[in-house]
Amino acid sequence: MNEKTSHRIRVLLADDHHLMREGVRYMLDSAPDIQLVASVGDGASAVEAFKQTIPDVTLMDLRMPGGDGFSAIASIRRHSPSARIVVLSTYDGDALMKQARKAGASAYLLKSMLLENMLGVIRSVHAGLQFWPPELGTHNGTFKADLTPRECDIIRLVACGSSNREIAQELRIGEETVKTYMRNILPKLGANDRAHAVAICMRRGYLDLLDLP
C-alpha cells in the first residue's frame, strides 16, 4: 500500500438496493481521496463488514432486511463507540433524523442530496464534523414536543384503522386512557383529527408504510 492509498478515507456502504449501491460506488470511485472498502445489502452484513474492515466512515441505509439501519448502528457503536456513520434515507421527516442522531449517527443525508452533497459530507464526517440538514426541521413545521414511544404505538394502530376500543385491547390499557393519549397527541402534532395526525406522522417519519399491514 503506497502513501497516497493509505491516506484515503475508507468507506463502508450498506444499502439493500443494488442500483443505489452501484451509483454510490461510481461516485466514490470518482474521488481520489475516498476508497470503498465494502458494499453490502442488509443490516447483519453491515455489522460484519464493519468489524472486518473498520472503515473510517459508514454509509447506512435505514430500511434494510436482516436488521434495519438503526439496529446495525447500535451494534456497530457497541463494537466501536467512535464509529462515524452517515445515515442515508429517502424519508425527509424530522423525527427520523432525530432518531438517527440519538442512535449515534454523525450525519443524515437524503438520497436525493447524494449527487451534490455525499462526497463533502463524507469528508466532513471523517474530519469529526456533523451534518444535519436544517431544512428537515423547518419544512415540517414547528411542534410542541416529540411523540413518546407509547404515543407512537397508538398512532401506528390508528393508522391501521383500529378503533379506541381495539387500541385499548391491543395495548392492554383502558379505552379512556387511549382517548387521553389522543387528546395529547393532536395538539403536539398540530393535527385537526386522527386522519390528519396520521398524515403528519407519515410526513415527519414517525410512521412508515412498510411497517403497516
pLDDT of residue 41: 92
Q: Is residue 110 part of a domain?
A: yes
Residues 66 and 13 in one domain: yes
CB 153 within 8 A of CB 182: no
Q: Is residue 113 part of a domain?
A: yes
Nearest to 57 by CA among 23, 25, 83, 88: 83
Work out the average pLDDT over 125-136: 86
Work out the average pLDDT over 19-45: 94
What percentage of the chain carries pLDDT values higher than 90? Answer: 55
Q: Is residue 144 part of a domain?
A: no
Residues 131 and 153 in one domain: no
Number of domains present in the structure of the chain: 2
What percentage of the chain carries pLDDT values higher than 70? Answer: 89
Residues 16 and 118 in one domain: yes
Rounded Cα distance between 177 and 175, Å, is 5
Work out the average pLDDT over 75-82: 94
Residues 38 and 131 in one domain: yes
Nearest to 44 by CA among 66, 76, 75: 66
**115: containing domain:** 3-138
pLDDT of residue 212: 57
Asked if pLDDT for residue 122 goes beyond 60, the answer is yes
Residues 132 and 88 in one domain: yes
Q: Is residue 48 part of a domain?
A: yes
Of 81, 105, 138, the residue that ends a domain is 138
Q: Is residue 13 part of a domain?
A: yes
- The set of cell numbers assigned to 178 is 387511549
Quickly list H helices, the chain: 3-6, 18-29, 43-53, 69-79, 94-103, 114-126, 134-138, 149-159, 164-171, 175-189, 194-204
- The set of cell numbers assigned to 24 is 454510490
Least confident of 82-96, 134-148, 155-169, 199-213: 134-148
Residues 158 and 127 in one domain: no
Q: Quick: pLDDT tens for 156-204.
A: 899 988 999 999 999 999 999 999 999 999 988 888 899 988 888 877 7
pLDDT of residue 105: 93
DSSP secondary structure code for residue 210 in this structure: G
Asked if pLDDT for residue 46 goes beyond 70, the answer is yes
Q: What are all long-range contacts of 45-52, with beta carbons under 8 Å and residues at least 24 apart?
A: 45/14, 46/12, 46/14, 46/72, 46/76, 47/72, 47/75, 47/76, 47/79, 49/12, 49/14, 50/12, 50/76, 50/79, 50/80, 50/83, 51/79
Give the phi and the psi of residue 95 in degrees, each rounded to 5.
-65, -40
Q: Is residue 28 part of a domain?
A: yes
Q: Is residue 143 part of a domain?
A: no
